[in-house]
Every structure is written in structure tokens, then in C-alpha cells.
């Protein structure tokens, strides 16, 4: 629902390419100053949504409003330059004959802003993005990551109503990318910029966003704060996208869960809308178990298991275990499990168990 602080309203948005429906019925509302992500796998419609908002595509249904004014619908098309939006692309283009400072200042000069104010604003943005020492360099003398930051700075400095970012850090190396996303969030928050960030990286979306819109097949399938999507996935798709690798068919019982094959869980399982007797999928993260060598201490929520595979990942070891014909993926900190015997004990933590609907036809 939109309210007085709503700056962007997207309602029932639809876009076709020939017979292919790229997005259908995409709806969301942003409050002023909110930073959100459109997240999802390749081809789910993130970029198409962003481009419809930016005005690079007309729409085939629905409506986009900025501050109450319709900028796109089937009968309306406000050109991109009149939308007061700025977009940062994965493939950015800087003016090759301009130094960093001038590239960033360009949009402000076009607006005939006083020289002093331009200097202040450009310097602040350069400081925030770690570009201060590079003010006099030409683009050819900057690394790819530095050029990308100049491109972000150039879009931010004009203080658009809404900043649209399409995977702007995807060309950066892993370390810089991690630094940049934290910088980016604090910068956007400090400037009070409303921003939509497109990414297929769930960690990036979680660090950057107040809210995440998870997309699949041209639709938003779940929205919420990062912690809600991570800890309360509504479907197997969301859980999988947020890194869950254990999905076990089970029946909800009065005491907890029945995983079949004699495996039962008792205790404080967060049931949500499920009730005793419902068939569900138990979703568990790899670190939702305690695994110990040997079979001592089997009992409530603790089963004997056989280690069938071990994968050393540096900081942790990934284990595949079998218990009564049920397979589990677990992760243990450190390398100790490499030395363990094949027999182990697997303790489930009821508070780490998540339940999602079982959508398979087989049950
Ligand atoms: P990625 O993460 O790979 O960029 P995405 O989620 O941004 O993916 P979109 O680029 O929005 O996905 O594409 C959504 C769907 O629309 C895909 O099926 C894609 O093939 C199709 N599509 C996108 N742009 C065009 C186009 N210009 N012409 C035809 N089909 C297109």
C-alpha cells in the first residue's frame, strides 16, 4: 500500500518481448530514503523491471508513479531525462578526455551550480568512495574498479530522486566488492538517497538493503527485510536461494516433527501456519546441526549417522551424512572432521528448523 512518504509506486507492471513475458504483475512501493534490492537468478526479470522504471523500456501493463505522478503506463511514457532518476550500469562509460573530478562534476556543471558548491559536493562523494587521490587522473589511468566507482559517484552527485543500480560492482574483485557494498550502504543512508539495487548475490542484497524483493519467473515471489527472507523463507525456492541445502519431507506432530524412518524431532519448532498432521518440507542450513565423532549420546533429537563424504573448505569442513536412509549436509568449523571415524552423531537443533510447504506431487 502506498502512503504519504511513498516516492515510487510500481503496480501490476508487465513487459513483453514478442511472445515472451519478461515480467508480469510486479508491484512494490518504496518510501523516501529506502534502499531495496531486486534479487533473483539470471533471467527472472530484475533488469527489465529496472529499465521500465528508468524509462529505457515502455510498459505493456500496469503503472509506475514517482511522487504521485504517473511516469509510465500503457498510455503514458515520460522520457528518461524527465524522470529525475539516475542509473548506474554494469558497463559504464566515462568521458575519456575528462579527469575524475570533471567526470563527476559534469552533471552539476550542466545544471549551472555555483563552482564552490560543485567542489564541495564532488569532494565529499570522492572521499566517500575512496577516490580523493585520483581527482586528476584520466579514465585510462584508472583500474576497472576505480572507473566503476567514478561512474557511481557521477550518478550520486546529482542527488537524483531515485538511484537505480544494475549490478554496479560485478566487475570488481571479491575483496573490493565486499568493501564497496558496505561503503555504498552507508553513503546512500547518509545522503538519504532512495535506491533500487539489482543483484543475483543474496549476501550483497542482505548487506545493502532495507528490504529485498526476491524475483522468479518475472514475478516477485517474496519480499521483506533481509532477516525475514533468511530466517522465514515462505517457500523452498526462497530457502534455496538463501543458501539452505537440506530439504527433508516430514509430518508435523504435536511434539515436533516426524522425518520418517524412525527419525523424530521434539521441541520448539517454529510452525508458522502449519499444524499437526500437515506434510511439510523441513529446511535446514548446514550449520543447523551439531555433529560429533562416535555415537555416544544418541537420544532426543540426536541420531547415529555415517559420514559418506568430507569436503575441506578451509575455515570449515562440509560433511554428507546418512541416518536411517535420510541424507544430511552439515558443516563443522575447522578441519577436525577429516580425522573422525565414519560413525558420527547428528544433533538437530529444533530452533534452527524452518518449515516450508512440500510442493512435490510425489507425496
Ligand atoms: P540477469 O541477472 O541475467 O541480468 P535478469 O533477472 O536481469 O537477468 P532480465 O534481463 O530482466 O533478467 O530478463 C528477463 C527475461 O526477459 C529473460 O527471459 C530475457 O531473456 C528476456 N529479455 C530481456 N531483455 C530482452 C530483450 N531486449 N529482448 C528479448 N527478450 C529479453
Q: At 3, is the pLDDT very low, low, confident or very high (cuts 50, 70, 90)?
A: low
What's the whole-number mean pLDDT along residues 263-268? Answer: 84
- pLDDT per residue as tens digits for the range 230-255: 999 999 999 999 999 999 999 999 98
The helix (H) or strand (E) run that includes residue 203 is helix 202-208
What does the alpha-carbon distance between residue 11 and residue 135 come to, in Å, rounded to a whole number? 42
- Contact call for residues 328 and 214 (beta carbons, < 8 A): no
Q: Show the cell assigned to 296.
A: 555416544
Q: Show the cell assigned to 248.
A: 527433508
| 51 within ligand 1 shell (Cβ under 6 A) | no
CA of residue 21 to ligand 1 center, whole Å: 10
CATH number assigned to the domain with residue range 244-362, chosen from the 4 options 3.10.150.10, 2.40.50.100, 3.10.20.600, 3.40.50.1820 = 2.40.50.100
Q: What is the mean pLDDT of the chain?
A: 91
The pick from 14, 17, 40 for probing ligand 1's pocket by mutation, whose C-beta has the most ligand atoms within 8 angstroms, reads: 17
Long-range (24+ apart) CB contacts under 8 A made by 359-362 are 359/235, 359/236, 360/249
- Residue 362 pLDDT greater than 70, yes or no: no
- Contact call for residues 95 and 140 (beta carbons, < 8 A): no
- Residue 91 pLDDT greater than 80, yes or no: no
CB atoms within 10 A of CB 274: 17
- pLDDT per residue as tens digits for the range 303-320: 899 999 999 999 999 999
| 56 within ligand 1 shell (Cβ under 6 A) | no
CA of residue 88 to ligand 1 center, whole Å: 17
CA of residue 74 to ligand 1 center, whole Å: 20
- pLDDT per residue as tens digits for the range 114-163: 999 999 999 999 988 889 999 999 999 998 778 888 988 999 898 888 99
- Residue 45 pLDDT greater than 80, yes or no: yes
Residue with more model confidence, 83 or 268: 83
Residue with more model confidence, 176 or 62: 62
Q: Show the cell assigned to 202.
A: 543474496
pTM here is 0.88
| 17 within ligand 1 shell (Cβ under 6 A) | yes
pLDDT on residue 324:
86
Q: Closest Cα to atom 31, ligand 1: which residue?
A: 17
Homologous superfamily assigned to 6-238: P-loop containing nucleotide triphosphate hydrolases (3.40.50.300)
CB atoms within 10 A of CB 136: 10
Distance of CA 354 to the CA centre of its chain: 20
pLDDT on residue 11:
97
Q: Please list, in sequence order, all residues whose beta carbon lies within 8 angstroms of the beta carbon of residue 31, skipping any fewer than 6 positions away.
A: 3, 5, 6, 7, 194
Q: Closest Cα to atom 20, ligand 1: which residue?
A: 43
Q: Please list, in sequence order, all residues whose beta carbon lies within 8 angstroms of the beta carbon of residue 37, skipping any fewer than 6 positions away.
A: 196, 197, 198, 199, 204, 205, 208, 209, 211, 212, 213
Q: What is the position in ligand 1's atom list of the atom closest to the CA of 38?
A: 6
Q: Closest Cα to atom 18, ligand 1: which residue?
A: 43
CB atoms within 10 A of CB 124: 17
User: Among 13-17, 84-88, 189-193, which range has the highest average pLDDT?
Assistant: 13-17
pLDDT on residue 317:
96
CA dihedral 191, 197, 199, 202 (to 10 degrees): 60
Q: Please list, in sequence order, all residues whose beta carbon lies within 8 angstroms of the beta carbon of residue 21, skipping any fewer than 6 positions away.
A: 14, 15, 218
pLDDT on residue 144:
77
Q: Show the cell assigned to 213.
A: 524483493
In 3D space, the residue among 162, 218, 156, 213 whose CA is nearest the CA of residue 183 turns out to be 156
- Residue 31 pLDDT greater than 80, yes or no: yes
Q: Could you tell me what percent of the chain has a pLDDT over 90?
A: 68
Domain ranges, ordered by start, for the chain? 6-238, 244-362
pLDDT on residue 100:
96
The pick from 24, 43, 205 for probing ligand 1's pocket by mutation, whose C-beta has the most ligand atoms within 8 angstroms, reads: 43
- Residue 299 pLDDT greater than 80, yes or no: no
CA of residue 10 to ligand 1 center, whole Å: 19
- Residue 286 pLDDT greater than 60, yes or no: yes
Q: Closest Cα to atom 5, ligand 1: which residue?
A: 43
| 15 within ligand 1 shell (Cβ under 6 A) | no
What does the alpha-carbon distance between residue 189 and residue 108 come to, in Å, rounded to a whole number? 21
| 43 within ligand 1 shell (Cβ under 6 A) | yes
- pLDDT per residue as tens digits for the range 188-224: 898 889 999 999 999 999 999 999 999 999 999 999 9
What does the alpha-carbon distance between residue 155 and residue 88 come to, in Å, rounded to a whole number? 7
What does the alpha-carbon distance between residue 7 and residue 161 come to, in Å, rounded to a whole number? 8
pLDDT on residue 361:
57
Q: At 336, is the pLDDT very low, low, confident or very high (cuts 50, 70, 90)?
A: very high
Name the pairing type of β-strands 61-66 and 69-72: antiparallel
CA of residue 60 to ligand 1 center, whole Å: 15
CA of residue 22 to ligand 1 center, whole Å: 6
pLDDT on residue 284:
94
| 216 within ligand 1 shell (Cβ under 6 A) | no
What does the alpha-carbon distance between residue 81 and residue 86 come to, in Å, rounded to a whole number? 9
**What is the chain's length?**
363
Q: Closest Cα to atom 24, ligand 1: which residue?
A: 48
- Contact call for residues 272 and 357 (beta carbons, < 8 A): no
- Residue 1 pLDDT greater than 70, yes or no: no
Amino acid at each position: 500500500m502506498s502512503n504519504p512518504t511513498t516516492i515510487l509506486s510500481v503496480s501490476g507492471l508487465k513487459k513483453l518481448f514478442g511472445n515472451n513475458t519478461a515480467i508480469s504483475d510486479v508491484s512494490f512501493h518504496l518510501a523516501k530514503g529506502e534502499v531495496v534490492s531486486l534479487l533473483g537468478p539470471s533471467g527472472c526479470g530484475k533488469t527489465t523491471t529496472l529499465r521500465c522504471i528508468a524509462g529505457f523500456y515502455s510498459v505493456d501493463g500496469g503503472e509506475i508513479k514517482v511522487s504521485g505522478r504517473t511516469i509510465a503506463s500503457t498510455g503514458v511514457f515520460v522520457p528518461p531525462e524527465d524522470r529525475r532518476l539516475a542509473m548506474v550500469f554494469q558497463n559504464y562509460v566515462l568521458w575519456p578526455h575528462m579527469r575524475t573530478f570533471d567526470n563527476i562534476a559534469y552533471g552539476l556543471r550542466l545544471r549551472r551550480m555555483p563552482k564552490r558548491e560543485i567542489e564541495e559536493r564532488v569532494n565529499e562523494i570522492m572521499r566517500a568512495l575512496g577516490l580523493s587521490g585520483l581527482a586528476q587522473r584520466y579514465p585510462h589511468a584508472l583500474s576497472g574498479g576505480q572507473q566503476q566507482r567514478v561512474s557511481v559517484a557521477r550518478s550520486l552527485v546529482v542527488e537524483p530522486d531515485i538511484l537505480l543500480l544494475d549490478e554496479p560492482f560485478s566487475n570488481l574483485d571479491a575483496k573490493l566488492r565486499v568493501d564497496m557494498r558496505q561503503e555504498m550502504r552507508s553513503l546512500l543512508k547518509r545522503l538519504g538517497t532512495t535506491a533500487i539495487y539489482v543483484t543475483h548475490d543474496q549476501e550483497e542484497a542482505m548487506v545493502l538493503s532495507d528490504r529485498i524483493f526476491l524475483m522468479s519467473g518475472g514475478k516477485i515471489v517474496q519480499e521483506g527485510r533481509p532477516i525475514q527472507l533468511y530466517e522465514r523463507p515462505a517457500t523452498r525456492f526462497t530457502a534455496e536461494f538463501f543458501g539452505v541445502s537440506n530439504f527433508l519431507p516430514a509430518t508435523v506432530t504435536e511434539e515436533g516433527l516426524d522425518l520418517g524412518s524412525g527419525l523424530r524431532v521434539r521441541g520448539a519448532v517454529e510452525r508458522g501456519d502449519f499444524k499437526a498432521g500437515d506434510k511439510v518440507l523441513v529446511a535446514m542450513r548446514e550449520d543447523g546441526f551439531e555433529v560429533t565423532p562416535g555415537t555416544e549420546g544418541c537420544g532426543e533429537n540426536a541420531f547415529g549417522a555415517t559420514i559418506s563424504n568430507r569436503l575441506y573448505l578451509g575455515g570449515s569442513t562440509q560433511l554428507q551424512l546418512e541416518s536411517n536412509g535420510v541424507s544430511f549436509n552439515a558443516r563443522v568449523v575447522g578441519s577436525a572432521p577429516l580425522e573422525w571415524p565414519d560413525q558420527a552423531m547428528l544433533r538437530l537443533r529444533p530452533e534452527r528448523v524452518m518449515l516450508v510447504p512440500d510442493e512435490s506431487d510425489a507425496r
